[in-house]
Amino acid sequence: MAIHVSRAVVNQMSKRGASFAAARIDLAALHDFVNPVVGLDHFRMSGPTFAPHPHAGFSAISYMFDDSAGAMHNRDSLGNDFIAGPGDVIWTQAGSGMIHDELPAQNGREVHGIQLFVNQTSANKRLDPEVFWLKRNDVPVIDDGTGNRIRVVVGEHEGKRSPLVPAEPFLLLDGEWCVPTDLPLNANWNTIVYVLEGELRLDADGKAIQLRPGHTLGIRSDDAGSVRLEPSAPTHMLVLAGPAIDEPMVTNGPFIMNSAAQIEEAVARFKAGKMGRLQAIGTGQRED
């Protein structure tokens, strides 16, 4: 068994608009260890920032941390209109295409969370779009009595399975690690760990890497295995993992497809109104 790791990348929060700040994770610096993740922002948003916009060919996920002061108002061209609170996750499986809008439910009340983009295979890029909303109290929690406490937001971990089941397998854990433990790895999956608070040492096949707040690391195992986590202080960390997609990828703004022709077709569908309509509310500036 061989476990491969990237170098640790440091990410810092910075202002990206009047009401939006984000640590935009430099996935390119993690090289081949991030697929199928194609975007990851750790954000703080206190006012309308993004106008209604389309997505197609991938899933866009918003996850609000427990400490978020505010909630997120989600609207989309499928007719969904709801308020997602702290600890909730909104998984927008865009498939063939849809339009959505996300903004703080109360202007000035800061939403703290992550936005995650996960690619979809060619077999699922034309699925009918679907939105999954999982509330905080429905997220399974692993509490082993040692101080380690892990929320299984998506996927399965240590016998706990999230009720949120997208079209393709994925793992999203939000945990606090206080004592040494092993983190299982699936064969030929890529895993990203992102430290928000605390400090720990990650041991992969005898290679020790020290991780601190803002650090991101990519991991891949040739076979099912594990890495050792040894926190020196209570550590709040995200774990994101999924099977790599070995297909061509062409990106154009909010569309991720397998070819330029598919991008052109998605743009044409959007312009023709086939992804639905959504009227803007509030004001704000979008920065990509």
Of the listed ranges 74-78, 165-169, 222-226, 258-262, the one predicted with least confidence: 222-226
Is 100 annotated in some ligand binding site? yes
Give the pLDDT confidence of 263-279 residue by residue, as tens digits: 999 999 999 999 999 98
Q: Decide if pLDDT at 283 tops 50.
A: no
What residue type is assigned to position 279 of the chain? Answer: Q
Has 112 been labeled as part of a binding site?
no
Amino acid at 258: N
Q: Is 265 assigned a ligand-binding role in the annotation?
A: no
DSSP result, 51-108 = --EEEBSEEEEEEE-TT-SS-EEEEETTS-EEEE-TT-EEEEE-TT-EEEEEEESSTT
Q: Full-prediction pTM beyond 0.75?
A: yes
Q: List beta partners, residue 243.
A: 189
Of 201 and 144, the one with more pLDDT = 201
Q: Is 53 annotated as belonging to a binding site?
A: yes
Q: What is the mean pLDDT of the chain?
A: 94
At residue 241, the pLDDT reads 98
Q: What does the pLDDT average to over 248-267?
A: 97
Non-local CB neighbours of 191 within 8 Å, separated by 6+ positions: 33, 171, 183, 185, 218, 219, 220, 239, 240, 241
Segment among 5-14, 66-75, 117-126 with least mean pLDDT: 5-14
User: How do residues 175-189 score in pLDDT, each as one tens digit?
Assistant: 999 999 999 999 999
List the alpha helices (DSSP H) in 104-232: none
Answer whether 12's CB lies under 8 Å from 41's CB: no
The CATH superfamily of 3-271 is Jelly Rolls (2.60.120.10)
Say how far apart CA 114 and CA 61 lie, in whole Å. Answer: 8
What is the reported pLDDT for 1? 62
Percent of the chain with pLDDT over 70: 97
Backbone angles phi, psi at 19, to 5 degrees: -125, 20
Answer yes or no: is pLDDT of 286 > 50: no
Round to the nearest angstrom and report the end-to-end CA distance of the chain. 40
pLDDT band at residue 17 using 50, 70 and 90 as cut-offs = confident
Does residue 50 or residue 95 have the better pLDDT?
95
Q: Residue 252 and residue 116: Cα distance in Å, rounded?
A: 17
Q: How confident is the model at residue 287 (pLDDT cuts 50, 70, 90)?
A: very low
